[in-house]
Structure 1
Amino acid sequence: MTDTCVIFAGGDPIRPETADSQLIENSFVICADKGFSLAQDLGIEPDIILGDFDSLKYTPDSDKMISFPPEKDDTDLMLAVGKAIEIGAKKIVIYGACGGRIDHMIGNIACLAMIAESGGSGIIVGDDDILSFYMPGEYTIPYKEGFSLSLFAYSQKVEGLKISGAKYIVDNCTLRDSVTLGVSNEIIPPEAKISFTDGRLLVIQSRL
Structure 2
Amino acid sequence: MSCFAILLAGRVDATPALRAALSGSRIIAADDGLRHAASLGVTPELWVGDFDSSPPTPPAGFADLPRETFPADKDRTDGELAIDAALARGATSLILVGALGGPRSDHAFAHLVLALRLAAAGLAVECFDGIEHAWPLSPTPRRFDLALGTQFSILKFSDLAGLTIAGAKWPLADVAVPFHSILTQSNEAAGPITVTVREGAAILLAQVDPAVR
Q: TM-score, normalised by structure 2?
A: 0.87
Q: Which residue pairs with 1:103 in the alignment? A: 106
- The answer to whether structure 1 residue 129 and structure 2 residue 132 are counterparts is yes
Gaps in structure 1 of 5+ consecutive residues: none
Amino acid at match of 2:7: F
- The answer to whether structure 1 residue 114 and structure 2 residue 117 are counterparts is yes
The alpha-carbon deviation at position 170 of structure 1 amounts to 1.3
Amino acid at match of 2:151: S
Q: Which residue pairs with 1:6 in the alignment? A: 5
Structure 2 CA distance, aligned partners of 1:151 and 1:16? Answer: 24
Count matched residues.
Answer: 204
Match of 1:87 among 86, 89, 106: 89
Distance 1:144 1:55, change over 3 A: farther
* Preserved contact between residue 149 and residue 189 of structure 2 (Cα < 8 Å): no
Match of 1:147 among 145, 150, 166: 150
Distance 1:152 1:58, change over 3 A: same
Q: What does 1:1-208 align with in structure 2 at a 5 Å threshold?
A: 3-21=2-20, 23-58=21-56, 60=58, 61-62=63-64, 64-99=66-101, 100-144=103-147, 147-155=150-158, 157-189=159-191, 191-206=192-207
The alpha-carbon deviation at position 86 of structure 1 amounts to 2.8
Q: Percent identity?
A: 25
* Preserved contact between residue 9 and residue 35 of structure 1 (Cα < 8 Å): yes
* Preserved contact between residue 136 and residue 200 of structure 1 (Cα < 8 Å): no
The alpha-carbon deviation at position 63 of structure 1 amounts to 5.3
The alpha-carbon deviation at position 90 of structure 1 amounts to 2.2
Q: CA RMSD for the aligned pairs?
A: 2.0
Of 139-148 and 93-102, more deviation after overlay is shown by: 139-148
**Secondary structure at 2:193 match in 1:** strand
**Secondary structure at 2:90 match in 1:** coil
Q: TM-score, normalised by structure 1?
A: 0.89
**Secondary structure at 2:38 match in 1:** helix
Of 47-56 and 84-93, more deviation after overlay is shown by: 84-93
The alpha-carbon deviation at position 36 of structure 1 amounts to 1.0
The alpha-carbon deviation at position 72 of structure 1 amounts to 1.0
Structure 1 CA distance, aligned partners of 2:46 and 2:183? Answer: 41
Structure 2 CA distance, aligned partners of 1:78 and 1:139? Answer: 26
Distance 1:145 1:66, change over 3 A: farther
* Preserved contact between residue 95 and residue 125 of structure 1 (Cα < 8 Å): yes
The alpha-carbon deviation at position 18 of structure 1 amounts to 4.3
Gaps in structure 2 of 5+ consecutive residues: none
